[in-house]
A and B are shown apart, each in its own frame.
Chain A
Amino acid sequence: MTRDEIHDTVVEILSDSFELDRADIKLESTLYEDLDLDSIDAVDIFVQLRSVTGRRPDPAKAKEIRTVDELITFVEEELAAAERGDPEPDVQLPDGSTPPE
């Protein structure tokens, strides 16, 4: 996927999921202030992005993302990681532990 294609996909996901006007979704728009999303919305963005990246997102990396531009870069990096076959982050239980083997 080219950066432009990723951009279009990200805008489509944001507008469809959160009733946002496409014109309001700019590269420099901040997710939490400009687009008025909260932490649950953020989880849902990453759920939707799994269908693009084919990977479980890294919660630590995801937490750092502030703008639409950074979100696009994140998808780019995830696609590259998928290409390289990088391992995915661990699943965490609600108490912070990982599921028993």
Chain B
Amino acid sequence: MSNNPRSSTTHDVVICGGGLAGLTLARQLGREQPELRVAVVEPSRRPLPMVTHKVGESTVEVGTNYLAHTLGLKPYLDAEHLPKNGLRFFSGDNRGPFVDRVEFGPFEFPPVPSYQLDRGKLENDLRAMVEEHVDLREGVKVSRVELAESGSDDPHRVVIEGDDGEQTLSTRWVVDATGRRHLLRRQLDLGAPSRIDASSSWFRVPEKVDVAELVDASEERWHTRDNHGNRWLSTNHLTGPGYWVWIIPLAGDHTSIGIVAETEHHPFETFHTLEKSLEWLAEHEPALAKRLEGVEASDFLVRKQYSYSGKRFLSTDRWAAVGEAAFFTDPLYSQGTDYITFANTYTARAIREDREGTLSEELVSLANQFMLRLFEANEDILARSGNVFRHADVFGTKLLWDYYYYWAFMAAWYFNRVYAMDVERQRRFLALGDEYARVSRYIQETARAWAELRQHDGWKARTHVGLPDTLSVITDLHMQLDVQKDPDAAEARMREDLEGAKEFAAEVLYRALIGVGPENAAELARRVDLASWDLPLDGARVALQEGSRVARRGGFSRVARDLERLMGHPPGNGTPLARLLEQALGRRVEAPGLQARA
């Protein structure tokens, strides 16, 4: 601490809470800044129970990269935890035969890996790993945090209470990793509401529940198309009107089953007990309910209206809130560990710069802005999605966009180490992020209106949508995460992918218009406020919609082609797309490339 004698403090960093967020931050600090004196204060003692400790943690690319490489846990994760076979969704008629549900998911393990973590095991093991270099206080509770006066250089005081009574730690930095105890959030009034209004219930069963068991063995093609019989290692989602259900494997042949439902469609009281959850499954997911008959649940947990936001997570006053202490968006897309990754990484950078005397308000403000934008982006993606889950064509199209967005922007931020770049460059990335967010809002609003106004199937149901191995825009976005890029190349790539994002939004609009037909084209335009959009709509492309396959192939952008490959060519109902667009815009779109502006 450049201007604060270390002798006046007992620690450089006190982390309140030793769950996943706190322990990973402790390990990160230990690896990157080994000279720091770090304490972790955690009320629970080892051994933590396996399997039922906390809701299973399923990682996606960012969180995986953080755990595996930044924290150096790859050999440990490979040896001790389950590999994850990507995200897998079964959409379409929720009460019909399971074999007829449209499946969105990989044929085999994706090249950029992820894991199904056992939280009890991981947290036991992380404690053992960090206690070598960290002052780990187990069975000790944080009674209160007395923050130094804002702007001062005085130490913070953390009052803790354990078997030996009360003790006060004095520290340069204090980090709230207390999860839903929300230590600093309460104290500093950091909370903010979320636009996501949904609740969840979940339970674990002491056996392997393989989604493949929901389909008869005689359906050979269905079983073969999962190349290695590893569907059960995916985070499996069954989607239906207003809800989705998860089936997630846990270590030791246990399985986690959860219901996530929007309040508007499914009041919490319809599934807030185990008995009601099972009845609920019997009604909405009969194939799964049948599989679970006679199976005893090992536990049952609920979270009513689980989503919440925050005003900020990091301060030049030397405090931070990481993990669920700061934000919780939604369990869909398994992004909990991603939030931990970003918050921990910016916190570690702020602690380092503070020691070096270079910590600026600009960096802290940028980090806070980034986390808030991340939260808002996920709110845009997930709030009021209940009707989107109802239809496989709408949901599948939206899902492909959500992947595009995640890989092109959110994951790219981490894989390209944007967080480590200078503030000025990060601001440019953030401005690009605003452009992505705008395009994403167009797409999410269009998907919602499409789901609500849908008249025509417009879609010959594909039974399995998996990404191609190569020559696909969306696959390339996933694969290029592991290709090292310098900051200029990373920025250029993100900018280039933004153009593809705009094409994507236009394609979603075209598909939605075909889906809602001439009856509802104008109403769709009204609901999404199409007149205010700033997006290039290409008249030449629109005219190709009714052309032959070869003509479309010759004239489509790579993004348009990708969507057609994955989601099929919507046959329409006889009204040309150009006419539908005219109804939606109230005027003609001429070739080529007129802007759809107000």
Contacts and interface: CB of A to CB of B under 8 A. Distances in A.
Interface stretch (B2-10, B339-347, B461-469): B461-469
B466 A47 contact: yes
Given A40-B565, A93-B483, A99-B482, A51 B464 contact: yes
Given A56-B469, A91-B469, A94-B479, A19 B549 contact: yes
Specify which of A19, A38, A93 lies most central, judged by the most chain B CB atoms within 10 Å of its CB. A93
B492 interface: no
Query: Would you call the interface of chain B mostly helix, strand, loop, or mixed?
Result: loop
A36 B550 contact: yes
A81 interface: no
Nearest to A40: B471
Nearest to B549: A19
A54 B224 contact: yes
A41 B22 CA distance: 49
A39 B480 CA distance: 20
B476 interface: yes
Specify which of A19, A54, A101 lies most central, judged by the most chain B CB atoms within 10 Å of its CB. A54
Contact of B476 (A36, A50, A53, A94): A94
Given A19-B549, A36-B550, A56-B108, A92 B470 contact: yes
Given A51-B225, A56-B108, A93 B468 contact: no
Contacts of A40: 471-472, 553, 561, 565
A7 to B, nearest CB: 16
B227 A93 contact: no
A54 B553 CA distance: 28
Contacts of A39: 471
B111 A18 contact: no
Contact of B549 (A18, A46, A54): A18
A60 B498 CA distance: 33
Contact of A95 (B221, B225, B483, B553): B483
B431 interface: no
A100 B464 contact: no
B479 A43 contact: no
Size bin of chain A's contact surface: 20 to 34
Given A52-B224, A91-B111, A93-B111, A100 B469 contact: no
B482 A100 contact: yes
B480 A47 contact: no
Given A36-B550, A43-B468, A56-B108, A50 B225 contact: yes
Contact of A55 (B74, B227, B466, B472): B227
Contacts of A51: 107, 221, 224-225, 464
Contacts of A44: 468, 565
Contact of A99 (B108, B111, B464, B569): B111
Interface in B241-268: none
Given A18-B549, A40-B561, A50 B482 contact: no
Interface string A87-99: 0000111110101
A93 B470 CA distance: 9
Interface string B470-493: 111000100110110000000000
Contacts of B111: 91, 93, 99
A68 to B, nearest CB: 18
B224 A94 contact: no
A39 B470 CA distance: 10
A50 B463 CA distance: 13
Contacts of A50: 107, 225, 227, 466
Given A43-B471, A50-B225, A59-B470, 17 more contacts: A19-B548, A19-B569, A40-B561, A40-B565, A41-B553, A47-B107, A50-B107, A51-B107, A54-B224, A54-B225, A56-B107, A56-B469, A93-B482, A93-B483, A94-B476, A97-B483, A100-B482
Interface of A: 18-19, 36, 38-41, 43-44, 46-47, 50-56, 59, 91-95, 97, 99-101
Interface of B: 74, 107-108, 111-112, 221, 224-225, 227-228, 464, 466, 468-472, 476, 479-480, 482-483, 548-550, 553, 561, 565, 569
